[in-house]
């Protein structure tokens, strides 16, 4: 019996040894795995599906031009199904099981917050492509979307200027969760600093998926009688459609009460008849309507990709800001890996600082040396009847992100991070 | 933004000699990047009231003004005209940069173009122009308003223009003139005028005590009139929400209330109805563009038929085997709902579909100045009443309805006396599903159309049916309208988030106290 046991033990250890040796000699040597963590079902599928597609397109593009350090990229796509805890599970699976070198993903702040502990614990690397509320800085995350000072603050400054209508009263309308609440906290402090008093600021929240905006639109109308009013909308997801429809039907025109939105882009306007919305505003770091060679190439590449893959409505696909941010993020990661000659997390993080990339926004974007955010230009656009945007204001050059808003008390010491 | 046809036609009919007076220097300012210069150019062109200049302004407001080859041009369909001479340029220059008008410019343009239309022969155009002018009075439009008042005969238009004139008189240094202006404005019931007058109540803004007293009286008078508008507006929005709840829940009131089937896929039947509207819209756009507005009418039978068909397939293949097993039904129909959502996603894509309101359902009517009733909501209230009448008639006046009621009350006995309960079940389920399809069609006109749109309505629908009393049509109507009005009044008071919670708490407490719902089923029914 004893001899038998010994034989089994020997066999088993030999097998284990063989298994352990296989990966180092196998095909992993000439490929690099990258994870894509976007909801392909559930409420967020509307927005996030396009990010998955643009990520796959960028990876194809990189592979076609020789890959990264001569190695082909292999995308691993998972579907966290708009389910926040599932985001953490899938992130863990990508890092430990699939052994990806980097993950591109997340949209809502809730999903980002739920994967953070995983990336910290396993020392992974996440590229987050969406504008967000700030108040966060993680070593393992690169933020390629806008911080509040690269989107919300310039938009409000524009509304207060003569050009933007000289608004004196502000109606802050949002979906009830962390991003709108934090953004509005920052905006309220900012407005106070500009001499706007609390009686000229109204803050209203609706639940996720709210679809009846009659009362709110009537209230906006009433609020607007007290002086030149602007609405600042942080409504997220498909609630925007009924909101804008109600605005149009109630006869509130952009020339009377302009609405500036931070989560409405080309993709969201595809679901709306944009004619009644002409003149309402959005603030982003990229618009599809920007005219420059990099953007033309980007749009052309994505259209060709959509046609090749037979995406639904392939002839009408649009590009938007988070898609651009995804595209820029993947390219910058590639450059950093090539600079570091390694996909090791610590080395890539070090190599990321100061990376530059000619972005479709027409500017050369730089990754900040210390704060993991991009320096981005800000554009303010008015909605056109065809669902695109006319740029009516822009910054002269990319501006540095302030993830810790100076308008939030307690952040004074964090400005140089 | 809306072009005025008569004006344009009048301008087009003008002889060529009229199309010369647009000065190139002004045009260059109009096309510059400096907004102040642009505004000045707009005022200059408007003050000239030259037809050619008006045409250029019209083009600017429609986004049809462009710069091509160093020249400012007006784009009209395929034709490109030189803005200075309004002569056609052939061949049309290939590269054009549209001159962008932002909100500030559009406001200015709206005001001056409306002021120029005040002398239009068509009463309707004048009325619209008068309303537009009061929104944005500018130094250019004030004299035009005065000129229009000398010739205007129509009392309605006169009163609007007089209000506009009185507004500009409020800044007059003579207190007597101000007092009479305030008196004139007191007759208005516009919230904007009220805000204007309220500013005069302050001692610093208005030094004359007499004017202040007059303003106080005027504000109070306006407030009294506005309070009515506000109350009616609240009730209307409550009824509108109620009618939507009713349409969403009516089908469920039949399948759940009458047949006892917990159909978790009910929301997806709504979705099928909404996508029928999308499909009909696409067909009409393609094949009958001139009758596009009627796609909604054509979609009514299609939505009913498509949803009823899906309902029949569901009933025949799955639900039929699970009658009287509520838990299994619940799970199976939930599975079905996932299948339907994914199917819609595969066919139509994950994005929301774009549904345009037909023109007779866009816009709103304004019976009192602060009461805006959107036409699409009025249409949906009417539609839900119509559907309700048809369903009531079907259940109470037809043989099928008699059978359905018989099976509901006592399945075994109905079967004994020769009612084919299986067939009645299928028919009733198809009817319930078809009505859900109609609900979906109505929803497509105000809410999002997407693969998972149904998920948002399933809880509300069950709430209405349970609150109304299972098996009761009248209960569903009362519950839907009641919930709509209550939640709208709460929302005005507490905000949308708290209102939603409060309504749920109210329903829970109500069901605790009165498990049978608003209306209890009477008679010798047998509980399953």
More confident of the two residues B13 and A41: A41
Classify strands A364-367 and A374-375 as parallel, antiparallel or unpaired: antiparallel
Mean of all residue pLDDT scores within chain B = 83
The pLDDT score that the predictor gives to residue B409 is 79
More confident of the two residues B209 and A290: A290
Weakest-pLDDT range from A134-143, B113-122, B165-174, B516-525: B516-525
More confident of the two residues A158 and B193: A158
Weakest-pLDDT range from A130-144, A325-339, B500-514: B500-514
**Residue B478 pLDDT > 60:** yes
Q: Are B247 and B391 in contact (CB under 8 A)?
A: no
**Residue A302 pLDDT > 90:** yes
**Residue A3 pLDDT > 70:** no
Put simply, whether B497 touches A (Cβ < 8 Å) is yes
CB atoms within 10 A of CB B166: 23
**Residue B108 pLDDT > 60:** yes
Min Cα distance B373 → chain A (Å) is 8
Helices (H), A250-344: 266-269, 293-309, 321-340
Min Cα distance B239 → chain A (Å) is 11
**Residue A283 pLDDT > 60:** yes
**Residue A147 pLDDT > 80:** yes
Portion of chain A with pLDDT greater than 70, in percent: 92
**Residue B19 pLDDT > 60:** no
Pull the structure tokens for residue A4. 């038998």
Whole-angstrom distance, CA of residue B116 vs CA of residue B125 = 11
**Residue A199 pLDDT > 70:** yes
Q: What is the average pLDDT across B158-167?
A: 81
First to last CA, chain B: 61
Nearest chain B residue to A318 by CA distance is B351
**B14: pLDDT confidence band, cut at 50, 70 and 90?**
very low
- Collect all residues of chain B within an 8 Å Cβ-Cβ radius of residue A227: 195
- Collect all residues of chain B within an 8 Å Cβ-Cβ radius of residue A40: 350
Q: Are B182 and B214 in contact (CB under 8 A)?
A: yes
Considering the four listed CATH numbers 3.30.365.10, 3.40.50.2300, 3.40.50.1950, 3.40.50.2000, the one that applies to the domain covering A30-146+291-376 is 3.40.50.2300
**A332: pLDDT confidence band, cut at 50, 70 and 90?**
very high
Q: Are B283 and B276 in contact (CB under 8 A)?
A: no
Whole-angstrom distance, CA of residue B321 vs CA of residue A44 = 35
Report which of A249, A248, A293, A242 is spatially closest to residue A383, judged by C-alpha positions.
Answer: A248
Which B positions 82-121 lie with beta carbon below 8 A of chain A?
A: 100, 102-104, 106-107, 110
Q: Write the CB contacts of A134 (distance below 8 Å, at least 6 apart in sequence).
A: A147, A148, A149, A182, A186, A402, A403, A404, A405
Report which of B491, B243, B376, B238 is spatially closest to residue A250, judged by C-alpha positions.
Answer: B376
Whole-angstrom distance, CA of residue A160 vs CA of residue A167 = 5
Domain ranges of chain A: 30-146+291-376, 152-261
**A38: pLDDT confidence band, cut at 50, 70 and 90?**
very high
DSSP state of B354: P
Inter-chain CB proximity A216 and B353 less than 8 Å: no
**B348: pLDDT confidence band, cut at 50, 70 and 90?**
confident
Q: What is the average pLDDT across B496-505?
A: 87
Whole-angstrom distance, CA of residue B342 vs CA of residue B336 = 10
Mean of all residue pLDDT scores within chain A = 88
**Residue B333 pLDDT > 70:** yes
Whole-angstrom distance, CA of residue A321 vs CA of residue B81 = 36
**Residue A394 pLDDT > 70:** yes
Nearest chain B residue to A220 by CA distance is B492
Which B positions 179-218 lie with beta carbon below 8 A of chain A?
A: 191-192, 194-195
Q: What is the average pLDDT across A242-251?
A: 83
Put simply, whether A282 touches B (Cβ < 8 Å) is no
First to last CA, chain A: 66
Inter-chain CB proximity A311 and B349 less than 8 Å: yes
CB nearest B352 (choices: A219, A241, A246): A241
Pull the structure tokens for residue A237. 């997801």
**Residue A323 pLDDT > 80:** yes
Put simply, whether B363 touches A (Cβ < 8 Å) is yes
The pLDDT score that the predictor gives to residue B1 is 43
Q: What is the average pLDDT across B312-331?
A: 88
Which A positions 144-183 lie with beta carbon below 8 A of chain B?
A: 162-165, 176
**A113: pLDDT confidence band, cut at 50, 70 and 90?**
very high
How many Å is the maximal CA-CA distance in chain A? 93
Most confident of the ranges B104-113, B465-474, B516-525: B104-113
- pTM of the predicted model, to two decimals? 0.80
CB-hemisphere CA count at 13 Å for A380? 27
Q: Are B252 and B438 in contact (CB under 8 A)?
A: no
Min Cα distance A276 → chain B (Å) is 10
**B16: pLDDT confidence band, cut at 50, 70 and 90?**
very low
CB nearest B191 (choices: A215, A222, A392): A222
Q: Are B445 and B361 in contact (CB under 8 A)?
A: yes
pLDDT in tens, B122-154: 888 888 888 888 776 777 777 788 888 888 888
Which A positions 300-339 lie with beta carbon below 8 A of chain B?
A: 311-313
**Residue A159 pLDDT > 90:** yes
Inter-chain CB proximity A276 and B450 less than 8 Å: no
* Tokens 């759940």 belong to residue: B256
Q: Are B350 and A49 in contact (CB under 8 A)?
A: yes
Q: Write the CB contacts of A66 (distance below 8 Å, at least 6 apart in sequence).
A: none
**Residue A410 pLDDT > 70:** yes
**Residue A78 pLDDT > 70:** yes
Count A/B contacts: CB-CB distance under 8 Å: 146
Over its C-alpha atoms, chain A yields an Rg (Å, rounded) of: 23
Q: Are A361 and A161 in contact (CB under 8 A)?
A: no
Portion of chain A with pLDDT greater than 90, in percent: 63
Q: Which long-range contacts (CB under 8 A, 24 or more apart) does B222-225 make?
A: B222/B186, B222/B188, B222/B189, B222/B190, B222/B193, B222/B194, B222/B197, B223/B194, B225/B189, B225/B368
Task: Tell the burial category of B479 from Cβ atoms under 10 Å away from its Cβ (0-12, 13-18, 19+).
Answer: buried
Min Cα distance B503 → chain A (Å) is 14
Q: Are A214 and A240 in contact (CB under 8 A)?
A: no
CB nearest A204 (choices: B350, B355, B495): B495
Q: Are B104 and B35 in contact (CB under 8 A)?
A: yes
**Helices and strands (H and E) in chain B: how many:** 21, 6
Which A positions 202-231 lie with beta carbon below 8 A of chain B?
A: 204-207, 209-212, 214-216, 218-219, 221-222, 225-227
**A190: pLDDT confidence band, cut at 50, 70 and 90?**
very high
Q: What is the average pLDDT across A160-170?
A: 91
Q: What is the average pLDDT across B505-513?
A: 88
**Helices and strands (H and E) in chain A: how many:** 12, 15
Whole-angstrom distance, CA of residue A181 vs CA of residue B265 = 34
DSSP state of B509: H
Q: What is the average pLDDT across B354-378?
A: 83
**A203: pLDDT confidence band, cut at 50, 70 and 90?**
very high
Report which of A43, A50, A105, A76 is spatially closest to residue A312, judged by C-alpha positions.
Answer: A50
The pLDDT score that the predictor gives to residue B199 is 78
Put simply, whether A84 touches B (Cβ < 8 Å) is no
Pull the structure tokens for residue A160. 């207060």
- Collect all residues of chain B within an 8 Å Cβ-Cβ radius of residue A218: 233, 237, 372
**Residue B279 pLDDT > 60:** yes
Print the SS3 string covering B239-271.
HHHHHHHHHHHHHHHHHHHHCCCCCCCHHHHHH
Q: Are A136 and B77 in contact (CB under 8 A)?
A: no
Query: Would you say domain A152-261 falls under CATH 2.40.30.170?
Result: no
């Amino acid at each position: 019996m004893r001899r038998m046991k010994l034989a089994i033990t020997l066999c088993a250890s030999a097998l284990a040894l063989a298994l352990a040796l296989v990966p180092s000699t196998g095909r992993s040597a000439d490929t690099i795995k990258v994870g894509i963590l976007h909801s392909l079902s559930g409420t967020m599928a509307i927005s996030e599906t396009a990010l998955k597609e643009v990520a796959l397109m960028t990876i194809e593009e990189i592979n076609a031009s020789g890959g990264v350090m001569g190695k082909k990229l292999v995308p691993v796509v998972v579907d966290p199904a708009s389910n926040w805890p599932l985001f953490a599970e899938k992130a863990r699976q990508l890092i430990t099981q699939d052994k990806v070198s980097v993950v591109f993903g997340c949209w809502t702040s809730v999903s980002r917050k739920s994967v953070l502990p995983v990336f910290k614990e396993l020392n992974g690397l996440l590229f987050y492509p969406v504008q967000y509320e700030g108040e966060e800085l993680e070593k393992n995350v690169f933020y390629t979307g806008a911080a509040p000072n690269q989107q919300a603050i310039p938009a409000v400054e524009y509304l207060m200027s003569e050009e933007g209508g000289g608004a004196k009263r502000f109606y802050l309308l949002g979906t009830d969760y962390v991003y709108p609440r934090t953004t509005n906290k920052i905006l309220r402090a900012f407005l106070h600093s500009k001499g706007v008093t609390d009686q000229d600021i109204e803050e209203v929240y609706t639940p996720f998926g709210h679809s009846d905006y009659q009362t709110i639109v009537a209230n906006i109308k009433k609020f607007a009688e007290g002086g030149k009013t602007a609405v600042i909308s942080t409504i997220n997801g498909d609630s925007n459609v009924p909101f804008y429809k109600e605005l149009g039907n109630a006869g509130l025109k952009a020339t009377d009460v302009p609405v500036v939105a931070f989560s409405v882009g080309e993709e969201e306007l595809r679901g709306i008849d944009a004619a009644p919305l002409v003149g309402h505003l959005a603030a982003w770091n990229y618009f599809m309507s920007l005219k420059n060679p990099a953007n033309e190439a980007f749009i052309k590449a994505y259209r060709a990709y959509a046609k090749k893959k037979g995406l639904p409505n392939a002839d009408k696909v649009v590009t938007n800001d988070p898609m651009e941010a995804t595209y820029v993020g993947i390219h910058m990661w590639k450059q950093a890996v090539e600079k570091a000659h390694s996909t090791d997390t610590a080395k890539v993080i070090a190599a990321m600082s100061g990376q530059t990339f000619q972005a479709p926004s027409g500017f050369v974007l730089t990754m900040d040396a210390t704060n993991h955010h991009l320096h981005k230009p800000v554009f303010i656009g008015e909605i056109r009847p065809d669902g695109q945007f006319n740029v009516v204001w822009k910054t002269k050059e990319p501006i540095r992100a302030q993830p810790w808003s100076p308008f939030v008390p307690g952040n004074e010491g964090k400005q140089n991070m | 933004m809306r072009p005025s046809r008569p004006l344009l036609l009048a301008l087009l009919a003008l002889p060529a000699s009229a199309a010369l007076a647009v000065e190139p220097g002004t045009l260059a300012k109009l096309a510059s990047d400096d907004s102040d210069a642009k505004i000045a150019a707009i005022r200059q062109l408007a003050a000239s009231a030259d037809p050619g200049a008006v045409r250029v302004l019209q083009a600017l407001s429609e986004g049809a003004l462009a710069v091509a080859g160093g020249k400012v041009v007006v784009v009209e369909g395929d034709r490109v005209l030189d803005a200075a001479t309004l002569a056609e340029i052939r061949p049309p220059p290939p590269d054009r940069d549209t001159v962008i008008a932002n909100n500030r410019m559009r406001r200015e343009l709206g005001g001056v173009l409306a002021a120029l239309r005040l002398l239009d022969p068509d009463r309707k155009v004048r009325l619209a122009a008068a309303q537009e002018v009061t929104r944005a009075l500018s130094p250019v439009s004030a004299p035009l308003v005065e000129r229009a008042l000398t010739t205007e005969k129509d009392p309605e238009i006169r009163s609007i223009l007089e209000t506009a004139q009185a507004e500009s008189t409020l800044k007059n240094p003579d207190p007597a003139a101000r007092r009479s202006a305030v008196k004139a404005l007191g007759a208005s019931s516009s919230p904007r005028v009220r805000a204007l007058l309220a500013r005069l109540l302050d001692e610093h803004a208005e030094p004359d005590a007499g004017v202040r007293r007059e303003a106080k009286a005027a504000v109070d008078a306006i407030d009294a009139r506005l309070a009515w508008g506000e109350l009616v507006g609240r009730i209307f929005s409550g009824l509108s929400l109620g009618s939507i709840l009713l349409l969403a829940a009516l089908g469920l009131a039949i399948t759940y209330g009458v047949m006892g089937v917990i159909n978790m896929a009910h929301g997806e039947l709504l979705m099928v109805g909404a996508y029928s509207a999308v499909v009909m819209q696409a067909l009409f756009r393609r094949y009958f563009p001139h009758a596009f507005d009627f796609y909604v009418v054509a979609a009514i039978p299609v939505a009913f038929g498509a949803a009823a068909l899906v309902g029949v397939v569901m009933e025949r293949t799955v639900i039929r085997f699970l009658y009287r097993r509520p838990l299994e039904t619940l799970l199976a129909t939930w599975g079905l709902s996932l299948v339907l959502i994914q199917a819609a996603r595969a066919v139509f894509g994950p994005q929301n579909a774009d549904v345009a309101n037909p023109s007779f359902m866009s816009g709103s009517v304004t019976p009192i100045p602060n009461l805006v009733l959107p036409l699409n909501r009025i249409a949906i209230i009417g539609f839900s009443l119509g559907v309700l009448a048809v369903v009531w008639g079907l259940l109470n006046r037809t043989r099928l309805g008699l059978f359905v009621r018989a099976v509901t009350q006592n399945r075994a006995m109905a079967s004994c006396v020769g009612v084919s309960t299986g067939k009645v079940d299928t028919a009733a389920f198809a009817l319930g599903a078809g009505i859900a399809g109609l609900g979906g069609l109505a929803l497509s006109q105000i809410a999002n159309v997407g693969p998972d749109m149904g998920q948002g309505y399933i809880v509300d629908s069950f709430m209405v049916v349970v609150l109304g009393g299972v098996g009761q049509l009248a209960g569903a109507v009362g519950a839907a309208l009641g919930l709509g009005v209550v939640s709208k009044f709460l929302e005005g008071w507490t905000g949308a988030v708290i209102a939603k919670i409060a309504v749920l708490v109210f329903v829970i407490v109500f069901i605790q106290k009165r498990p049978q719902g608003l209306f209890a089923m009477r008679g010798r029914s047998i509980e399953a």
